[in-house]
Structure 1
C-alpha cells in the first residue's frame, strides 16, 4: 500500500504535469489564435502569472521526489523514483537555461518595444516547452509505476 508521501508526491507532480500540458496544448493554441497584439500580450501575462508559481511547484515536486527516494531507498521502485527525480532535475535545468530567458524577455514586451523576431522567440519557447512536457510526463509515469 502506497504511503501518504508517495501519493502526495505523485499528485503534486501529476497536477504540475497537467498544468504544463494544458499550457502547451490548450492555452498556447488559444493565445496563438488571437490577433497579433493580443496574442503576444496574452503570452506575456501568462508568463508573469505562471512564472511566479511554477518555480515553486517544480522545486517542491523535486524535493518531494528526493524525500521519497531517500525514505524508500530499500523499496523495489526506488530506481524508478530516482530516475523520475533525475528527469525533474533535467526539466529544471532546461527551464533555467532555455525557457526562462525567453519568458523573461517576453514578460516585458509591449506593442512599442517588442523585437521584430518576437514570434520566432515565442515559437522557440514553445518547442522547448514541448520537450519539457515530455520530460515531466516521463517523470510522472515513472512515479506512477513506482507505486505498484
Structure 2
C-alpha cells in the first residue's frame, strides 16, 4: 500500500504541476507574444496535451479507486475517495467545457483562426483555473490520505 500511495501522490502531483504551469506560466507567456505569435504554440500545446492528459487523468482516477478498494475502512480512504471524486469532476468539466474549445484550438493557425480566437482561449483559461483548483484540492487530499495510511 505504501508504494500505491506514493505512486498515486506522484501521479496526481505531476498532473497538478503540469496543469498549474500551463495556467500560471505557459499561457500567460504565450499571450504576451506580439500579434498571433502565441497562437501556433497554443495550437501545438492543445494537440500534445490533448493526447496525453486523458490517460493521465484516467490513470490517476484508477489509482485512487484501487487505493480506496484495497484500503476500505482504513484511515486514508475518505480523503482519497473525495480526491478521486474531484478528479472525476475535473474530467466532467474538461469534457463538457474545455475539450470543445481545445478541439477548435488544435486546428487553428495564424492564417485561419477566427477573429475572436483570443476571447475563446481566454474563456478556456478561465475555465482551466477552476479545473486547476479541483486538481489542487485532489492532490492535497491524496497527500492527506497517504499521511493517514
Q: How does 1:28-39 map to 2 (within 5 A)?
A: 28-39=27-38
**CA drift at 1:115:** 1.2
Deviations 1:75-117 (A, max 9, x none): 0121111100100000000110111100100110122221121
Deviations 1:1-33 (A, max 9, x none): x61001101111001100100000111111111
Corresponding pairs, count: 147
Q: How does 1:123-134 map to 2 (within 5 A)?
A: 123-134=122-133
Query: Please, which runs of 5 or more residues in structure 2 have no aligned partner?
Result: none
Give the corresponding residue for 1:12.
11
Give the corresponding residue for 1:122.
121
- Is 1:139 aligned to 2:135, yes or no? no
Query: Please, which runs of 5 or more residues in structure 1 have no aligned partner?
Result: none
- Is 1:64 aligned to 2:63, yes or no? yes
- Is 1:81 aligned to 2:115, yes or no? no
TM-score of the aligned structures, taking structure 1 as reference length: 0.96
Shifted more, 51-60 versus 32-41: the winner is: 32-41
Give the corresponding residue for 1:26.
25
TM-score of the aligned structures, taking structure 2 as reference length: 0.95
Give the corresponding residue for 2:112.
113
Task: Give the 4+ runs in structure 1 shifted more than 2 A.
Answer: none
